[in-house]
Amino acid sequence: MCLAVPGKVVRLKDSDMADVEIGGIETEVGLQLVSDVKIGEYVLVHAGYAINKIDEEGAKEMMKLFEEIQELDEIAKLSENDEIY
Amino acid sequence: MKYISEYRNPAVAKKLIEEIKEFSKKPVNFMEVCGTHTVSISKSGIRQVLPEHVSLLSGPGCPVCVTANRDIDKAIAIAERSDVIFTTFGDMMKVPGSYSNLAEKKADGADIRVVYSTFDALKIAKNNPDRKVVFFAVGFETTAPTIALSILEAQKRDIENYFIYSVHKLVPPAMAALLSLGEVKLDGFICPGHVSVVIGSKPYEFIAKDYKIPCVITGFEPIDILQSISMLVKQVENGEAKVEIGYKRGVSSLGNTKAQEVMKKVFEVCDAEWRGIGVIPESGLSLRTNFEGFDASKIFDVDVPPTKEPVGCSCGEILRGVKLPCDCKLFGKACTPENPVGPCMVSTEGSCAAYYRYGEVADGV
Ligand code: SF4
C-alpha cells in the first residue's frame, strides 16, 4: 500500500489542489507536500497527494511498468482460468 | 513470466544476472522490506534466476500485515459504536482481528466506509457534523505525511468531528529490530522505494554503520531489483556496508523535507507493537499533545478482550523472515486469497498472497 503512481499535472486549482492525469484519468490531487509544481510537470501520487516531483523520463518509464503489470495480470488471469494447463 | 526474455529489457537483465553470478561467492540472505518489491520479485521470478546461494527473504514490508491484532480489535470496537462513521483504506477491510474483521462488521450494519484518501474522510466528517468520523491511520512513512495534512486541514477548517486511530509504523527501526533479534542471518537490505522518496537515504545510515549491513534503495521493476541485488553482492564481497541509491527517480539523500516537516509537526515518534515482532522502540507515530483532540485512541475508551492469533498461521515468523509462506501448513490449502486465514494472505502486498499468486509454492528461495 506504499505504491505511488506517476501522473501529469493538467490544471492547477485553489488551495493547493491540482487535476492530475493518471493513466488517462483525471484525478484531484493535493500539492501541499511539494513545492513549485507547474502545469505539464509530473508528480508521484500516493493516497490523494503528490509526494514528490519526478522527471518526465522517469514518469514515462514507471507508467510503462504499470501498464505492463496490468498486462501481465491479464495474462496470469487467463492462464489461471485455463484448465488445460 | 519466469523467463528473462520477458523482462522489459532482457539484455540488461541478463547482464545483471551474469554480474551477480560472477561476483557472488559467499552465501547471502538479502531481505526486501517492501510489499511492492515482494510482489515484483514473485511476479518476475527473480528468485529462480539467482544463484542458489543468493536468497531473498521478505520482511515486514506491508503496513497492513504488521498491524497488531490489538489495534485491529480496538479499531473494530470503535467502528461498532453507533455515533461513529469509521473510514479506512480498502486494504484493511478484510484483515482479521482476533474475533472478526471490518468487512464482517460492515455487513452486520456498522457504518464503515472505504476511502481512497484522507480528503474523502474529511469530506464525510464535514457532511456529517453530528457523527464522529474516525480514520484508520495505517501506513509507513509514505502515507503518514498525507494523514498529518488531514489533521492540519481539520484544524484549519474547524472540523471537530474528525479523528484518527494511528497505527503508523516506521521502517528503519523495524529493520534494526530484526537485526537485533538475530533469528535470521541477514547480509543486506533492499530498501523500499516509495518510503525512501519521503525519508531519503539518511535514516538507513545507522543500519550500515552500526550493524555493518549494506542497504540499497531501489525501484520496482525487475531490472531495478536485479541491480540492487548486484550492488548488494558487490558490497558484501568487498567487505563494505553503505547505503546506496539505485532508484534515482525521486529519491534523494534528504528525501522530501516538506513532507517530513508536516509529519513532524503533527506526529511524534512512539514505541509501537508490530504483528509477529512485538513492541519495537521508537517505531511508530502518535499525535503530539497539541493535537490530542484528534486522537481516537484517547477520545474513545474502548475495552477489548485479550487478543488471539489465527490458529496455525505463521504470519509472525514470515514477517520476521524466519519462515517462507510455503513453510506454513495452511498455505494454499486452508489459506488462500479467497479464504485468507492471516493478514499476509489478505493484503495483495502480503508475502503469502504474492507467493500464492505467482506460484512460488514449493521451490522456496
Ligand atoms: S499462508 Fe495463511 S495461515 Fe499461513 S502464514 Fe500465510 S496468511 Fe498465515
> Packing angle between helix B35-44 and helix B222-237, nearest 10 degrees?
100
Whether A3 sits inside 8 A of B36 (CB atoms) is: yes
Q: What is the pLDDT of residue A15?
A: 79
B1-54+62-304 CATH: 3.40.50.11740
| A5-81 fold | SH3 type barrels. (2.30.30)
What are the residue boundaries of the structural domains of chain B, listed by start? 1-54+62-304, 309-357
Average pLDDT over residues A20-29: 90
Give the end-to-end CA distance of chain A in Å, rounded to a whole number.
32
Q: What is the pLDDT of residue A68?
A: 62
Q: Is B88 on the interface with A (CB under 8 A)?
A: no
Q: Is B313 in the pocket of ligand 1 (CB under 6 A)?
A: yes
CA distance B170 to B195: 9
Instruction: Write out pLDDT tens, residues B159-178.
Output: 999 999 999 999 999 999 99
Q: What is the pLDDT of residue B35?
A: 87
Per the CB < 8 A criterion, the answer to whether B135 and B345 are in contact is no
Q: Please state the pTM of the whole predicted model.
A: 0.90
The three-state DSSP-derived secondary structure of B145-176 is HHHHHHHHHHHHCCCCCEEEEECCECHHHHHH
Determine the residue type at B46: I
The values of phi and psi at residue B308, to 5°, are -145, 145
CA geometry: angle A10, A16, A21, nearest 5 deg: 25
**B-chain residues near A48 (CB < 8 A):** 116-120, 146
Nearest CB among B64, B120, B149 relative to A1 is that of B64
Buried residues in B220-243 as b, exposed as e (16+ CB within 10 A): bbbbbbbbbbbbbbbbbeeeebeb
CA distance B7 to B14: 9
Say if residue A79's pLDDT is above 50: no
Say if residue B86's pLDDT is above 90: yes
Q: What is the pLDDT of residue A76?
A: 45
Q: What is the pLDDT of residue A73?
A: 53
Query: Bigger pLDDT: B8 or A16?
Result: A16
Q: Considering chain A, what percentage of its residues have pLDDT values greater than 70?
A: 73
Per the CB < 8 A criterion, the answer to whether B243 and B219 are in contact is no
What are the residue boundaries of the structural domains of chain A, listed by start? 5-81
Instruction: Write out pLDDT tens, residues B189-206.
Output: 999 988 999 999 999 999
Per the CB < 8 A criterion, the answer to whether B208 and B215 are in contact is yes
ipTM: 0.85
Q: Is B87 on the interface with A (CB under 8 A)?
A: no
**For ligand 1, what atom is nearest to the CA of residue B315?**
5
Instruction: Tell me which of B8, B12, B116, B117 to substitute to probe the interface with A (most A C-beta atoms closer than 10 Å).
Output: B117
Q: Give the residue, out of B313, B323, B356, with the most ligand 1 atoms within 8 A of its beta carbon, to mutate for a pocket test.
A: B313
CA distance B354 to A77: 14
